[in-house]
Amino acid sequence: MYLSKGNRKLSKNILIWNLPRLSTCPGAGDCKKWCYEIKIERMYKGTRPCREQNLKDSKRKDFVDNMANYLIHRSERIVRVHEAGDLYSQKYLDKWYLIANLLPDIRFYAYTKSLHLDLWTTKPKNFNILQSFGGKWDSKIDWSKATNRAIKKGDQLYQQEYMCPFTSIRNGGCGETCKVCMNDSNAHVVGFIH
């Protein structure tokens, strides 16, 4: 089981859990054309095997206990579920919700195109879901709940959308001054395609 600490945009105070790209993304649509994780997996040869192991770990019966035990001993209080990969099944999503329920002092958040899943019935308060545009199930997006959209420079924002202040900054600031994605269950966040 491997969680990284931050990335070029996210603060080092945020743990990130990743899975293999595309094979765990049942709702992938247009993003297949520009998925930045293709580049990451080519540049860093150890990335794909690590994510494959995380996928195996996520299917284990003791995944919830193992993850909860790991996180409870960490100082980080924010977990991004997937920089790469997605909520590949209801059973897997339910495991993350169990983990969040066990750790109410930790904030969890995920962007997802898996809009065919029941995202809302048992969602814990400390787990923010942002529905991502550009997938197979865009018609299922509930605008009364948080959304995320990747745009090209020059594209217009929809009414009530919020431009991520760190979308073009690569200094690890996200999660330090702005925590909209982690906390706001009604935010409509936009970022630029990397």
pLDDT one-digit tens code per residue, 15-73: 999 999 878 888 888 776 766 666 677 766 788 899 999 999 999 999 999 999 999 99
pLDDT one-digit tens code per residue, 108-149: 999 999 999 999 999 999 999 999 988 999 999 999 999 988
Other residues' Cβ atoms within 10 Å of the Cβ of residue 160 = 10
Distance in angstroms between the alpha carbons of the first and the last residue of the chain:
27
Domain ranges of the chain: 3-192
pLDDT one-digit tens code per residue, 42-56: 766 788 899 999 999
pLDDT band at 183 (very low <50, low <70, confident <90, very high): confident
